[in-house]
Amino acid sequence: MMKKKKPEPPENHERWLVSYADYMTLLFALFVVLYSFAMAKQSEYNAMVKAFMDSMGKVGLISRPAGNPVLEGGTGILEVEQKSQVEKKEENKQDLPESTKESLIPEVAIDLNAGNAEINAPEDLQKNQSAAMVSKRKDQKEMLGKLQKQFQNKRVEVEQLGQQLLIRITDTTLFPAGSAFLQPRLAPLIDEIANVLKDIPGTIVVTGHTDNLQEFDSLYKNNWELSSLRAVAIVQEMLKNKGLQPNRIIAQGRADTKPLVDNNSPENRAKNRRIEIVVTQGEAEEVKAVTVEPKAE
């Protein structure tokens, strides 16, 4: 009697779950490694990459390429190309004839000389500027001496204050007391000053000064107005000289705010009643404001 065959077990349709579970486990491990790379520093990242690649290579999952510059700490592609280009240039230079090699040497010498010229240029420029400044100061000193000699005994003082030339008119008879009317007999003195200033470059500032007394004609409200109109009267007389450009001149009044000496006597008040003409020489960026300090009595 024949034995009956055992029925075959039913086919298992869930075997794919094993492969799927392995795949998910590897995928999870991959994301964990990538996350750790992102959170690690650059130095730690390089070490982790090398360790990871070594471990994967040992188990046979990957094969390390021979001579990998990143993992072996070797030379990158760009460095290899640059080195290759340098070697090619050296080889091409060796293939040149001797006459061509010698012709290349003077070009290098010319470039070096040009560099030296650029380095020495600031020193030469500084010397030229110093020489020009010395010459300019010499010219200013000579001009100052001529002006002082020209206006000697005319109640006119001439001073050099840095880049500014100061002409101070201290004649108390220039204007009547409390008036801005210029005395006709002193007009030639103003004309003479204007004739000198037309040949001196720079901005001309005419400033009127008064004493501290409030004694003036009914035509003027205060010493501010009086000092300003006195400066304007001087400017109007100076502009009779056609060689003097009007755009160079500024008129202003300072009342009694800038006394030379204390207003404690008639003599001192007479000194404070004055007209000052300041010529600012040179370019605007060269000029520094100069304050005229009151003279000690």
pLDDT in tens, 93-114: 565 555 555 555 444 444 545 5
| pLDDT at residue number 285 | 39
Class of domain 141-286 as given by CATH: alpha beta
* % the chain with pLDDT above 70: 59
How do the domains of the chain map onto residue ranges?
17-74, 141-286
Q: Model pTM?
A: 0.50
What band does 20 get if pLDDT is binned at 50, 70 and 90? confident
| Over residues 40-55, mean pLDDT | 72
Question: Beta strand 164-169 with 274-280: parallel, antiparallel or unpaired?
Answer: antiparallel
What band does 88 get if pLDDT is binned at 50, 70 and 90? low
| pLDDT at residue number 149 | 73
- Chain position carrying tokens 């091409």: 92
User: Burial level of 292, CB count in 10 A (0-12/13-18/19+)?
Assistant: middle
Q: 205-229 pLDDT, tens per residue?
A: 999 999 998 877 778 889 999 999 9
Which pair of tokens denotes residue 38?
A: 């992102």
| Over residues 187-200, mean pLDDT | 89
226 Cβ contact list (under 8 Å, min separation 6): 178, 179, 180, 208, 210, 216, 220, 253, 255
